[in-house]
Structure 1
Amino acid sequence: MTTLADPVPGGRPGDVERATALSGELSGRGVHGIVLSYVDTAGIGRVKTVPTARLASAAAWGVGMSPVFDTFLANDSVVTTDVLGSPDGDLRLYPDLDQLVVLAGQPGWAWAPVDRVTQDGERHPGCGRTFLRRVVTEAAARHGLTFKAAVEVEWTVARGDAPGDAFVPATTGPAYGAARQVELGDCTADLLAACAAQGLDVEQVHPEYAAGQFEISVGAVDPVAAADRSVLVRQTVRAVARRHGLRVSFAPAVVGQGVGNGGHVHLSAWRDGANLHSGGEGRYGMTAEAESFTAGLLAHLPGLTAVTAPSPASYLRLRPSQWAGVFTAWGRETRETALRVVTGTAGLRDQAANLEIKPVDLAANPYLAIGSLIAAGLDGLTSSATLPEETTGDPARLSEAEAAARGVRRLPVSLEQAVAEFRGDDVLRAALGPVLADAVIAVRRGELASVAGLDDDQVAAAYRWRY
């Protein structure tokens, strides 16, 4: 389980002693440095590293890093809000020792996610991991709910010897094809070995649809750990691929046309050990609370896209009839609706039933994305929102009248539209808090300005190797 207590100057009870013991153990295993990892508002993984011998000091007093990164863009330009984006100030990065792992794909290194705390020992209001932890703890206190989550990771594999920043697929095999698995079999075998060594329970890894595309799925855990795992999986994929002379991209789109890389989120709500998405009297076994939770997600999807699909390149992926889920609709195992109700196989439904949220990609900060999704669902649960009629097949084929009758609408077709929807969503902005909400808006506007006047291929190229 993830540590759910906030860090404090001097360390939480037992942290320093534990870190001291870990430091010696890691040194004995040939680990020389610790990667301290977090994700900024633009969805870029940022790090600081410390020698293994400094782990106890980091657990006690954190490691300094500027708060300016909360308003960095993907291209490393800086925008500002009323309180963020200044060169002034400092924060402390505190590693979560529960999630520290030795990186099998990067010999000599270990990795740990961090919480960011002010110099005065207070929660940093721009910290996405702290935000998600707050959402989870408040849901338990107010509703008696816990959650399980998992993030699917899709990536595109390119040849490492391609000229400049060109994208040349590393495989020539067909989608989901055995040929593609053989072509990169050595790399994916090493990936599986690295994940196993790091304690990541991989459910499947396979070739995907687009050229050079693969996907890996890991088991569902608590939401904070799920976001951590999403970051760790990408760190591992990148490291293993590099050792094989390959280059990978998790960007929503690596080219201007075609299927892009998603980061679908699987989410289920639980109370007293019982899955609310199974065994109920609602549709497909959902309880009344699960239906209302799903309705809340549907209602807030337009504004959520500013968090879950935060890049101009995201909207190259969010196109109809490409399994990206671009309509406010739900359906059982319907891969064209934004919300796919997964009931699971008979005999496992009490454990496996969940919601898959599809308009999510890996440019999203996973902590902000999962926390915002939970907040949206809880709003529906609190108001006993009614889940509308199910949609089957491709919503793009509905007539205008049919779509209107079902409440099915197209999600934003651009980041500009998504930001406008987010600005009008009081629930999402209140959940994030004013500092984070303003950062989301400022960074999205900055991304839009950075690609103004570019065509689709140029937008894809601008973000191709940033994620």
Structure 2
Amino acid sequence: MTTLADPVPGGRPGDVERATALSGELSGQGVHGVVLAYVDTAGVGRVKTVPTAKLASAAAWGVGMSPVFDTFLANDAIVSTDVLGSPDGDLRLYPDLDRLAVLAAQPGWAWAPVDRITQEGEPHPACGRTVLRRIVAEAAERHGVTFRAAVEIEWAVGRGDAPDGAFVPAVSGPAYGATRQVEFGDCAADLLAALAAQGVEVDQFHPEYAAGQFEISVGALDPVAAADRSVLVRQTIRAVARRHGLRVSFAPAVVAQGVGNGGHLHLSAWRDGTNLHAGGTGRYGMTADAESFTAGILARLPALTAVTAPSPASHLRLKPSQWAGVFTAWGRETRETALRVVTGTAGVRERAANLEVKPVDLAANPYLALACVIAAGLDGMASRAPLPEETTGDPARFGPADAAARGVRRLPTSLAESVEAFRADQVLRTALGPVLADAVIAVRQGEIEAVAGLDDDQVAAAYRWKY
């Protein structure tokens, strides 16, 4: 479960007592420090840590961190908005004790995601985790809808001794190949063991398409917990790989050419314990609400890419006919459309049916990505938006006239295009709030300027080890 209440100075009811008890338990397990983790606007994981003995103090009064990190770029340069980017001020990081995990691959450490509040005790308007929790709560209150979500994780495994930041695949077997699984088998077994010890439910793990690439799929949780889990799984993958002398990259494009790393979102809406994506009278068992939810996301995909594919390197990945989902189209089990309707196998559809959003990568802040996708879907549901005709096969085959007639459009081909679409989208900007929406725009503009004049190979290299 996930703590639903915002933090307050002095601690939520029972948190200080619970943290005190946890501190003793953790010390008894040889845990010396707790990683307090969040993700910034650029999608980079940031942390502070406290000794285990200070966990109760963190639960009561938080841990200080500057709000300037909301406008950090991936290269650690700083941009600004009218309210963010100054060296002034302080925030308090409050750990969610419900999500605390002992890190199996980092002996001596535990981990917890944080919410950020001001020194005056108010929710920080640029805290993506808080924004996502608010959107999920409002969906339940206004629409009677809850969600289950999961983030797929793809990454490339490189040799740790590669020179000068280069990527040299650590395995050489073919895509989805048994050879690659054997080459990575010892590390993979340690990874699965570590995730199991941390309570992470793994559904699948396999070699992927690109050189040195693997993918892991995890069980669905509520959206906030799903975003937390995405951050924790990546922390674990990095730690396990390092113990094997390997280096991993979650960047959208580890190299400029070929298939990149995705971070596809899987999402299902539920009401009164019933999955709205199964058992309905609409297409493939969708209810009317599920169709409209899908239509709402479909309509806002160009603007959504500013949040779901937020790096200049993202657009090296977003290419037609590479399963990245770069067209405004949907289809049942169609891996080239931006939205893939997953019905599940007969016998489990009531719990397995969901919607996959494909133009998402792991440069995205998962809290912001889920918040915006849910907001777009809820807007479609509220307006009873009609879901257009399904697309089968590869949308790249359509000529301009046929594509226009079907409403199939190419998603933005540059981060600048995505930013302009986001700037014009009132629904997404309102969902994030003005402070966070302006930070998204400022950070994206900063990333654009940071790579001005670079060719594709240089862009890939610039972001290769940032994520």
Whichever residue aligns with residue 106 of structure 1, its letter is Q
Q: Return the TM-score normalized by structure 1.
A: 1.00
Q: Distance in 2 between matches of 1:106 and 1:356?
A: 32
Shift of 1:402: 1.4
Which residue in 2 is equivalent to 1:332?
A: 332
Give the match for residue 15 of structure 2.
Answer: 15
Q: How does 1:252-401 map to 2 (within 5 A)?
A: 252-401=252-401
Superposed structure 1 runs of 4+ greater than 4 Å apart: none
The one-letter amino acid of 1:287's match is T
Structure 1 equivalent of residue 454 of structure 2: 454
Distance 2:111 2:230 in 1: 13
1:159 corresponding residue in structure 2 = 159
d(CA) in 2 for partners of 1:164, 1:394:
39
- The AA in structure 1 aligned to 2:348 is L
Alignment of 1:163-178 (within 5 A): 163-178=163-178
| Whole-angstrom distance in 2 between the partners of 1:403 and 1:232 | 40
Return the offset for 1:401.
1.4
Matches within 5 A, 1:193-204: 193-204=193-204
Aligned length: 467
Cα offset for 1:400?
A: 1.2
The one-letter amino acid paired with 2:232 is L
Which residue of structure 2 aligns with residue 247 of structure 1? 247
SS of 2:113's equivalent?
Answer: strand
Partners of 1:221 and 1:342 in 2: CA distance: 17
Q: Which deviations, in whole Å up to 9, do the C-alpha atoms of 1:42-85 show, x marking residues without a partner?
A: 00000000000000000000000000000000000000000000
Corresponding position: 1:422 with 2:422: yes
Deviation at 1:356, TM superposition (A): 0.2
What is the CA–CA distance in structure 2 between the aligned matches of 1:9 and 1:349, rounded to whole Å?
A: 44
Shift in Å at residue 405 of structure 1? 1.0
Q: Which residue in 1 is equivalent to 2:5?
A: 5
Q: What is the rounded CA distance, in whole Å, between the counterparts of 2:205 and 2:188 in structure 1?
A: 8
What amino acid is aligned across from residue 422 of structure 2 in structure 1?
F
Percent identity between the two aligned chains: 83
SS class of match (1:461): helix
Match in the other structure for 1:121: 121
Q: Distance in 1 between matches of 2:215 and 2:232?
A: 15
Partners in 2 of 1:431 and 1:64 — Cα distance? 27
Q: Please give the residue correspondences for 1:210-225 in structure 2 after superposition, counting only pairs within 5 Å.
A: 210-225=210-225
Aligned residue identity for 1:405: A
TM-score norm. by structure 2 comes to: 1.00
Structure 2 residue identity aligned to 1:223: P
Task: Tell me how far 1:399 sits from its aligned partner.
Answer: 1.6
Deviation of residue 90 (structure 1)? 0.1
| Cα distance in structure 2, aligned partners of 1:252 and 1:395 | 22
Listed as ranges, the matches of 1:94-133 within 5 Å are 94-133=94-133
For residues 359-398 of structure 1, the C-alpha deviation after alignment (integer angstroms, 9 at most, x for no partner) is: 0000000000000000000000000000000000000001
Secondary structure at 1:34 match in 2: strand
Q: Offset at 1:24?
A: 0.1
Q: How does 1:12-161 map to 2 (within 5 A)?
A: 12-161=12-161
Return the alpha-carbon distance in structure 2 between the equivalents of residues 59 and 265 of structure 1: 31
Aligned to 1:187: 187
The 1-side partners of 2:112 and 2:246 are apart by 25
Which ranges of structure 2 fall in alignment gaps of 5 or more residues?
A: none
Structure 1: which 5+ runs fail to align?
A: none
The residue type paired with residue 120 of structure 2 is D
- Taking the aligned partners of 1:126 and 1:432, their CA distance within structure 2 comes to 8
Shift of 1:164: 1.5
Matched, 1:441 2:441: yes
The residue matched to 1:164 in structure 2 has which SS? helix
Please state whether the residue corresponding to 1:293 is helix, strand or coil: helix
- Write the distance in 2 (CA, Å) between the matches of 1:433 and 1:153: 28
Q: Distance in 1 between matches of 2:356 and 2:192?
A: 24
AA of the residue aligned to 1:76: D
Please give the alpha-carbon distance, in whole angstroms, between the structure 2 residues aligned to 1:413 and 1:355.
24
> What are the superposed Cα offsets for residues 216-244 of structure 1, whole Å, 9 maximum, x if unpaired?
11000000000000000000000000000
SS at match of 1:26: helix
2:163 is paired with a residue whose SS is coil
Alpha-carbon separation, structure 2, partners of 1:83 and 1:127: 14
One-letter code aligned to 2:395: P
Q: Deviations over 1:331-367 (max 9, x none)?
A: 0000000000000000000000000000000000000
Question: How far does residue 159 in structure 1 lie from its aligned partner after superposition?
Answer: 0.2
2:300 partner SS: helix
AA aligned opposite 1:15: D
SS of the residue 1:111 aligns to: strand
Between the aligned partners of 2:387 and 2:166, the Cα distance in structure 1 is 45
Q: 2:252 is paired with a residue of what secondary structure? A: coil
Distance in 2 separating the partners of 1:144 and 1:254:
41
Q: Residue 308 of structure 1: CA displacement?
A: 0.2
Cα RMSD between the aligned structures? 0.3
Q: Give the superposition deviation at 1:201.
A: 0.4
- 1 CA distance for matches of 2:123 and 2:140? 20
